[in-house]
Amino acid sequence: MVKSSLISGFYKLNPKDRLALLKQFADLSDTECKLLENTGSLPMDLADHMIENVVGAMPIPFGIGVNFLINEHDYLIPMVIEEPSVVAAASYAAKMVRDGGGFHTSSTTPVMIGQIQVVGVEEPEAAKLRVLAAKQEILKKANEQDPLLASVGGGAKDLEAKVIHTTQGDMVIAQLHVDCRDAMGANAVNTMAEAVAPVIEQLTGGIVLLRIISNLATKRLAKAWCTVPKESVGGEEVVDGIVNASAFAVADPYRAATHNKGAMNGIIAVVVATGNDHRAIEAGAHAYASLKGQYTSLSTWEKDANGDLAGSIELPMAVGLIGGAVRTHPIAKIAVKILGVKSANEFAEVLAAVGLAQNLGALRALASEGIQRGHMSLHARNIALAAGVPEGLMERVVGQMVKERKIRMDRAKELVKEFGGAKD
Ligand code: MEV
C-alpha cells in the first residue's frame, strides 16, 4: 500500500485519532506511541490548544544555572536545553564574573517596530512625506487598537517612513514604533500595523501588502558587561587567549557565527524555559550582528589596565512576561517564578548577562584546555545511554571512554562485553 501524507481534516481529529493515523503511517510501536502520548506536565488538552495537529509532547531537560549576580542581585537561571555542558559552563562563568562584582546591565524602552509595505506608489518620496505629516492621526488610530497597552504607558509612540529600491521597483515602508511594556508585542504590533494600513494606503495612493512586526528589534536592546579578575579566569595567558578569540570573532564572520552561537546557547535555553519565542530572538540577534554590513560578534572582550578581562554584549531582546505560552505553559510559569523578574526589561537584561556568561564559558575553555574536555563526560554518558549500557556499568564505561578519548557507540558496547555485562 502506498502511504500518502495528504490527509484531509487531520487538524479536526483529536490527538488520539491523529496518533492512530500516524502509528500506521510511520509503523510506530505501542511503546513509541505511549512515549509520545505521555505529555508529562503539559496536559494534552493544553498542548492541543497551543499548536496544531498535536499528537504528543517532547520533554527537554530543565536545568538551573547558578552563581549569577546581576546588578547586585542573585538570580537562579532556568535553562531548557538538550546540549550537555551549557548549564555547567554558564554557572562556571557566572562564578568567575561574581569574583569581579557580577554583571551590570542596561536596556532601552521595550519598543518594537511594525512595518507596513506599500507598493505601486507614483511619487514615493512625496508619499513618504505625506505619511510622516499624518503621524499623529496614524498613531491615534494605532493606539485605539490597544487601550490597555496605552493605559500602562505603552502603545504606538512614533512613526518613521522610508523609500526602498527593490527588484520590484520603489516601495514606501512605514514603520510604527510601539512600546510593548511587558509583552513581547507581536500581537499588539501586528494588530496596529493592520489597523493603520488603510490610512497609509490612502495617503500614498499605493497598495499596502505586508503589515508585520520586524524581528530586528533595534529599539529594544539589552546590554550586559562585566570585569573578571585575571586570577579567576586562569591567569594572564587565558585573558590574552580570550581577547584574541574575541578579536577573531569581530573580524571573521565564520568565527563570529560560532562565537554568537555560544552566547545564544545560554540565551535561548532561558527563552525556551520561559515559553518565549526563541526564533524571534535568534533572528533578531543575527540580523543585529550584521547591521554594519558584515556579520560580526555580538560581544567583545578586552584586557583592562589591571590586566583583568572586561567583556560586554549588546543585542535585541524581544521577550515578554505576559501573553502566549509564557502565561499558559505550566513549566514556563514556574521558570518565570524562579527567575523572579518583575518586568520584561529586567528579564531582557538577565538574558544579556546569561549570554555574556555563556560566551565567556566557551571562550575560556577554548582558550585554555579546549572545549572537548568539558564536553566529554556528558557526551560519553549520552553515547553510553544510547548504546544501552546498563546503569550498573555506566560509570566504568563512561570513565573508560573518556580516558581513551574514544566516545562511540561501538566502543561502549565493546566495553560492556569487556566488563562482563553483555547478555547476547
Ligand atoms: C558549542 O555549542 C558552542 C561553542 O562552539 C561556542 C564557541 O565556539 O564560542 C563552544
Q: Give 27-56 pLDDT, tens digit per residue.
A: 999 999 999 999 999 999 999 999 999 999
Please give the average per-residue pLDDT across 142-152, as a whole number.
96
Strands 62-70 and 73-80: antiparallel
**pLDDT above 60 for 422:** no
C-alpha of residue 362 to centroid of ligand 1, in Å: 6
Q: Ligand 1 atom closest to Cα of 255? A: 8
- Label residue 371 by pLDDT band (50, 70, 90): low
pLDDT of residue 374: 64
Task: Name the residue at shortest CA distance from atom 4 of ligand 1.
Answer: 262
Shortest CA distance to 213 belongs to which of 172, 156, 167?
A: 156
Residues 6 or more apart in contact with residue 184 via CB below 8 angstroms = 112, 276, 277, 280, 318, 319, 320, 323, 324, 344
Distance between CA 285 and CA 288 in Å, rounded? 5
Out of 98-102, 287-291, 397-401, least confident range: 397-401
Q: Ligand 1 atom closest to Cα of 85? A: 2
Does residue 258's CB lie within 6 angstroms of at least one atom of ligand 1? yes
- Label residue 423 by pLDDT band (50, 70, 90): very low
Shortest CA distance to 378 belongs to which of 29, 30, 88?
A: 88
C-alpha of residue 259 to centroid of ligand 1, in Å: 6
**pLDDT above 50 for 268:** yes
Does residue 364's CB lie within 6 angstroms of at least one atom of ligand 1? no
Mutate which of 83, 246, 259, 378 for ligand 1 pocket (most atoms within 8 A of beta carbon): 259
pLDDT of residue 135: 98
Shortest CA distance to 83 belongs to which of 260, 351, 268, 359?
A: 268
C-alpha of residue 218 to centroid of ligand 1, in Å: 25
Please give the average per-residue pLDDT across 138-161, as a whole number.
97
pTM (2 decimals)?
Answer: 0.90
Q: Ligand 1 atom closest to Cα of 86? A: 2
Residue 334 C-alpha cell reads as 514556574
C-alpha of residue 264 to centroid of ligand 1, in Å: 10
Does residue 286's CB lie within 6 angstroms of at least one atom of ligand 1? no
Mutate which of 258, 296, 378 for ligand 1 pocket (most atoms within 8 A of beta carbon): 258
User: Are the C-beta atoms of residues 201 and 118 closer than 8 Å to each other?
Assistant: yes
Please give the average per-residue pLDDT across 57-74, as a whole number.
98
pLDDT of residue 376: 79
Task: Name the residue at shortest CA distance from atom 1 of ligand 1.
Answer: 262
Q: Ligand 1 atom closest to Cα of 83? A: 2
By CB atoms closer than 10 A (0-12, 13-18, 19+), residue 338 is middle
Tell me the pLDDT tens digit for each residue of 320-366: 999 889 989 999 999 999 999 999 999 999 999 999 999 999 999 99
C-alpha of residue 251 to centroid of ligand 1, in Å: 17
Please give the average per-residue pLDDT across 291-311, as a whole number.
98
**pLDDT above 70 for 181:** yes
* Cα 243–Cα 249–Cα 254 angle in degrees, nearest 5: 150
Task: Name the residue at shortest CA distance from atom 9 of ligand 1.
Answer: 259
Q: Ligand 1 atom closest to Cα of 262? A: 6
User: Are the C-beta atoms of residues 226 and 100 closer than 8 Å to each other?
Assistant: yes
Does residue 371's CB lie within 6 angstroms of at least one atom of ligand 1? yes
pLDDT of residue 421: 56
Tell me the pLDDT tens digit for each residue of 98-117: 999 999 999 999 999 999 99
Does residue 89's CB lie within 6 angstroms of at least one atom of ligand 1? no
Shortest CA distance to 195 belongs to which of 165, 161, 155?
A: 155
pLDDT of residue 372: 63
Out of 187-191, 386-390, 420-424, least confident range: 420-424
pLDDT of residue 424: 44
What stretches of 201-342 adopt beta strand conformation (E)?
207-214, 221-228, 299-303, 309-316
Percent of the chain with pLDDT over 90: 92
Active site residues: 83, 261, 277, 375
Out of 157-171, 191-205, 220-234, 381-395, least confident range: 381-395
pLDDT of residue 2: 84
Does residue 262's CB lie within 6 angstroms of at least one atom of ligand 1? yes
Does residue 265's CB lie within 6 angstroms of at least one atom of ligand 1? yes
C-alpha of residue 366 to centroid of ligand 1, in Å: 8
Q: What is the mean pLDDT of the chain?
A: 95
| Cα radius of gyration rounded to whole Å, the chain | 25
pLDDT of residue 369: 72
